[in-house]
Chain A
Amino acid sequence: MANDIKILTEHINIPGIETFEVYRKAGGYNAVEKAIKKMSPDEIVEEVKKSGIRGRGGAGFPMGMKWSFLAKPEGVPRYLVCNADESEPGTFKDHYLMKNLPHLLIEGMIVSSFALGANKSFIYVRGELMYVVRILEKAIEEAKAAGFLGKNILGSGYDLELVVQPGGGAYICGEETALLESLEGKRGNPRNKPPFPAVKGLYQSPTVVNNVESIANTPWVINHGGEEYAKIGIGRSTGTKLISASGHIKNPGVYEITLGLPVDEFMNSDQYLGGIRDGHYLKAVVAGGSSVPILPANLFYKTANGEDRLMSYESLSDGGFPTGTMLGSGGFIAMDETTCIVRNTWNFSRFYHHESCGQCSPCREGTGWMEKVLHRIEHGHGTMSDIDLLVDVAKKIEGNTICPLGDAAAWPVASAIRHFRDEFEWHINHPNEATKPGAVYMGAEILA
């Protein structure tokens, strides 16, 4: 099986790969040559469509489809914006890719911009990652000096200016329309949709926003063709996915996996996470970044129908909200039995409270409310009615907000209560035990 094909990270261990020379020697920028010299923009869009690749930023929207929605009115510029804001707790794969393989992203930006007819493209980088901004800027200078960027690229007449813009460090600016507002120099409030960015995006012009990893896949698609790409993976989950794994596992880090890899193998084989640290066992998993529903170990390994779960969009979401989760952005957090779910839920909630932009009432008020109630429960001041209150508040936020941050704040709370209700009840009924340092509910026995 082509189980360990590396589309993105094949060359990552070559010393000096972050420099233009080494990257070029390893076959880098071939895609730019091929695209600009031998292909038309529409042909590239067609290949990306054929590849079946889905957006890696979280929502999993088919990339080729997004590209083909881009409006092309006469005389109006079009923009490509790369979303490198990566701030979801648990997700750190774009960071890894950019710092180690800056030229891969630049190459992807060039071919994607060419395909979309953009002459000015942006990479919006999370504000905390200033050193990555410098790495990218250096890579851009190198590519420019080699004639792959700037005016008249490779003598083709195609111009492209690439701008790296650091953000101000707000999670909400990862939401694509908030990102565009921020890029325009405004307050990063998500916009009302429609209009979608494909029609009115940056500076009211048609714009495509794609994740770093999505864009980094395009050189391979151009070099090998969309059909080849679509052969990798499983079903509608084509290609590979970067998973940033953290928590109580033996080998935390960033992994490029072929979609469709069995969850069990990913979790327990030495090639990947190597299982839970010795002497402990898996309690729960957040499979795709803090906003996706948390799953208890049993539902993580097997779907409610008893099928083995795979690392793919479809398999992870099998069972919907009641018993499934989502692949999301690939922020994989494994928790062993020493993890207090209440505390963890409060921690996530605190994050969303802190990061809500405050535009729409359900999210602005609801995130703070949930955090306060969870804080109370965690600190031994909860009441039984608080549990249903949390469920109800989450329900009233979900789906009723401007942007998906509201949902992202509601899901972790709703799912934690759905799967770990007894733990919440124990906290409420045993405030003295529950507030002892390190106390964790474990069914019959209490770890303290």
Chain B
Amino acid sequence: MSDAIKPDAVKDCRKVGCPMNLVYAKVELAKLQSGQVLEILLDDGAPIGNVPGSVTREGHRIIEQKRLADGAWSLLIEKK
């Protein structure tokens, strides 16, 4: 089902710790229009634990969260 969603922007934040991964996510989201989708790649652990809740609190929508082969995560965020 994820194949149906094509992100408008991709940001690789693997190896980027908290909170800079969220800073980069916010910068990328600021460049998008409402309804567009950002794919952000996040490390396992604190990054995938923290970032989804933070972007959700700001009103954006998580439309998919899936594990990658290297153990990191792909997060699809629809801009509010």
Do these two chains really belong together in a complex?
no
B interface with A by C-beta (< 8 Å): none
